Amino acid sequence: MVNAAAPSLSLSVSKAAFSYTLGGSSPATQAVTVSNAGGGTLNWSAASGASWLTVSPSSGTGSGMVTLGMSPSGLTAQTYTGAVTVTAAGAPNSPQTISVTLTVNPASALPVVVSAVVNAASWSGSTIAPGELVVLGGTMLGPSTGVSGTVDPSTGKMVSQLAGTTVLFNGFAAPLLYTSATQVNAIAPYETTGCTQATVQVQYQGTLSSSMTLPCASAAPGIFTFNASGAGPAAAANQDGTFNGPASPAAKGSYVTLYFTGGGQTNPAGVTGSITGTSTLKWLTQTTTVTVGGTPATVAFDGAAPTFVDGVLQLNIQLSPNTPTGSALPVAVTVGNVPSPATATLAVQ
């Protein structure tokens, strides 16, 4: 015989479903009504059986509302199942379960957009040279947390697929130095030598961006700076091995080593993604000139920087005895007939 005074647990739904895209906004919460279909007083509690499934409040008296939600932390693209168990003391039909399904879609479901490609040293430019280190800006280019590139032990070259990101120049995969949702650092493949236009695309988690087309150039030089902004003290070393800067200026007539990118092809030819050795120097195929404070310097070496990835270039220059004195003299590199921005500086005694 049923006790008419006993509470009876009633839920408005027995199933719920959520859909979430990695990197996107969490889906809206869903409400479930808890009510007493019997007599007496209904004291109930609700508990989640999955780490990603949230429930609030966890208890109540009489009729009330339970809110279901989801937490995206640590989820990957797949389908998850979970349940919320609602228990009511003294109710013959307790406990009751709400089955919950969560479908997590890959981030590639969102559009991959390339909005800018610039020289990685100068943060400027609108052309692409073979071997040039570049920075691509946009959205959904890679994972939300940045990942640095590594050398593939099986090939000895920089990886061209990193955390789901691939960058293509005219269909050739570029070596990758870094990838994130909004920025990718890559190296223009040497296969672009001689091209007239470069079509740049980023593929992330299987989704390909629309194309950005840029003119090709034999050179697009940019000088690296210590602050990585493209302006200010150049990434340079004095003849005595100290870093060049206002506190350690170079002597007139001395040698200075500085680093740049976008010098174009070398001889022997650059190999996409390879690490430059120390046994054979790779010289630039085009003539390189340098001015410091507007005064020409003598170029002793211009080519691939030993022990760095092909595309990072080194200049060994001898300052003229007539170089002006200054703590921030503009330095410019011209390869062929293409000058770098004169935004990097050297300090000279």
The pLDDT, as a whole number, for residue 2 is 47
Same-domain pairing of 324 and 238:
yes
Give the chain's domain count. Answer: 3
Query: Does 192 fall in a domain?
Result: yes
Same-domain pairing of 208 and 236:
no
Same-domain pairing of 239 and 313:
yes
Same-domain pairing of 101 and 201:
no
Domain C-terminal end among 195, 215, 235: 215
Domain C-terminal end among 76, 105, 134: 105
Same-domain pairing of 195 and 129:
yes
Cα 167–Cα 173–Cα 175 angle in degrees, nearest 5? 80
Same-domain pairing of 206 and 226:
no
- Long-range contacts: 244-249, Cβ < 8 Å, 24+? 244/346, 244/347, 245/347, 246/327, 246/328, 246/347, 248/347, 249/327, 249/347, 249/348, 249/349
Q: Which amino acid is at 118?
A: V
Q: How does pLDDT run along the chain (349 residues), one tens digit per residue?
A: 445 689 999 999 999 999 888 877 788 999 999 999 998 999 999 999 999 999 999 999 999 999 999 998 889 989 999 999 999 999 999 999 999 999 998 865 568 999 999 999 999 988 999 999 999 999 999 998 999 999 999 999 999 999 999 999 999 999 999 999 999 999 999 999 999 999 999 999 888 999 999 999 999 999 999 999 999 999 999 999 999 999 999 999 999 999 999 999 999 999 999 999 999 999 999 999 999 999 999 999 999 999 999 999 999 999 999 999 999 999 999 999 999 999 999 999 9
Same-domain pairing of 235 and 341:
yes
pTM: 0.71
Domain C-terminal end among 71, 90, 105: 105
**Domain enclosing residue 194, as ranges:** 109-215
Query: Does 4 fall in a domain?
Result: no
Query: Does 2 fall in a domain?
Result: no
Residue 269's H or E segment, with its range, is none
Query: Does 144 fall in a domain?
Result: yes
CA dist., res. 192 & res. 172, Å (int):
8
Residue 78: give its domain's CATH number: 2.60.40.10
Query: Does 3 fall in a domain?
Result: no
Neighbours of 60 (CB within 10 A): 17
Same-domain pairing of 230 and 210:
no
CA dist., res. 21 & res. 37, Å (int):
38
